[in-house]
Amino acid sequence: MLVEIDGVRVLVDPVWDERASPSQWAGPKRFYAAPVRLEELPPVDVVLVSHDHYDHLGEATIRQLAALESMRSARWVTSLGVGRVLREFGVSAEKIAELDWTQSVAVDGLEITAVPSRHFSGRSMFNRFETLWSAFVLKGAKHTVYFGADSGWWEGFAEIGAAYGPFDLVMLEIGAFDVLWDGIHLGPDGAARAYEALGGSGLMMPIHWGLFDLALHAWRQPIERLLEVAREKKIRLWAPQPGLPTEVVSGLELRSDWWL
């Protein structure tokens, strides 16, 4: 996602790779092409990488971004330990800020804070839990965004909401879910519960669905179920069409049906 908040452009977990996999010949493949080419992106102030999984950190994407003129002044912000992966893929060490949970860094007036989530890390079967995974709070002069990245349900959502909210936009994952994966992914019902625990303010943006074939559920199931839950709980959704520049307006819902 490309987020412009109070004049600061933040590129979040960029993956333009064809597959979320160690190999570009096998593994979960994209359902649709990226709606804009990397070289067509405007100048970016921050590249935010939540953790090292392949559907959040693509090697080909990072290598290309690191060489782009539009990224020359960008600050790379990530979770503790992930900087090593970024350096291997061509990002200059002096541009990287690694954050432990509750640590912050300021970029052009935007305060970026890493907060806990319930997930895991590792780019192979042999390096699990060697780097950190995080959600992030983006706090600008006027607006505050919660980017949930990957997480299962845990009681800390309420504490995060109390400490860093209220939020204008709450980004929560709804895809790649299964009853067996409740500890690491929210799914639509878990996302609605987390949104309420975070304070239930602002708009909820469903993320992490419909791009890679990562789960056993049907492609449309996450968004279809979320729409049902949102109606039941009266949650205001912000679900724009991918690739279409869209303004976040306080209190104004957006329910695009592009996925139909």
> In this model, does residue 49 exceed pLDDT 80?
yes
Q: Tens of pLDDT along 206-221?
A: 999 988 888 888 999 9
Q: What mean pLDDT is predicted for residues 177-206?
A: 93
Amino acid 27: pLDDT: 73
pLDDT bin (cut points 50, 70, 90) of residue 6 is very high
User: Can you spell out the DSSP letters for 144-179?
Assistant: EEEE--S----THHHHHHHHH---SEEEEE-SS--G
Amino acid 126: pLDDT: 74
Q: Tens of pLDDT along 51-98?
A: 887 788 899 999 999 999 989 999 999 999 999 999 999 999 999 999
**CA 8 to chain CA centroid, nearest Å:** 17
Task: Walk me through the domains of the chain, giving residue ranges and CATH numbers.
Answer: 2-255 (3.60.15.10)
What are the CA-CA distances from residue 239 to residues 113, 227, 243, 252, 260 (Å)? 24, 10, 12, 11, 13
What are the CA-CA distances from residue 49 to residues 63, 112, 180, 192, 241 (Å)? 14, 12, 26, 24, 22
**Mean residue pLDDT across the chain:** 93
pTM score, whole prediction: 0.94
pLDDT bin (cut points 50, 70, 90) of residue 183 is confident
> In this model, does residue 26 exceed pLDDT 80?
no
Amino acid 14: pLDDT: 95
CA gap 208, 198 in Å, rounded: 18
112 forms beta bridges with 105, 138
CA gap 104, 106 in Å, rounded: 7
Q: Are 6 and 143 in contact (CB under 8 A)?
A: yes
Question: Would you say the C-alpha torsion 14, 105, 141, 109 has a positive or negative sign?
Answer: negative
Amino acid 173: pLDDT: 96
Q: Tens of pLDDT along 147-178?
A: 999 899 999 999 999 999 999 999 999 998 88
> Percentage of residues in the chain with pLDDT exceeding 90?
76
pLDDT bin (cut points 50, 70, 90) of residue 25 is low
74 contacts: CB under 8 Å, gap ≥ 6: 11, 43, 44, 45, 46, 47, 95
Residue linked to tokens 């649709």: 32
Residue linked to tokens 């080419």: 37
Q: Are 107 and 46 in contact (CB under 8 A)?
A: yes
Element containing residue 99 per DSSP (H, E): strand 96-99
Residue 5: count other Cβ atoms within 10 Å of its Cβ. 21
pLDDT bin (cut points 50, 70, 90) of residue 180 is confident
> In this model, does residue 18 exceed pLDDT 90?
no
Q: What mean pLDDT is predicted for residues 193-213?
A: 95
DSSP state of 30: B
Amino acid 151: pLDDT: 92
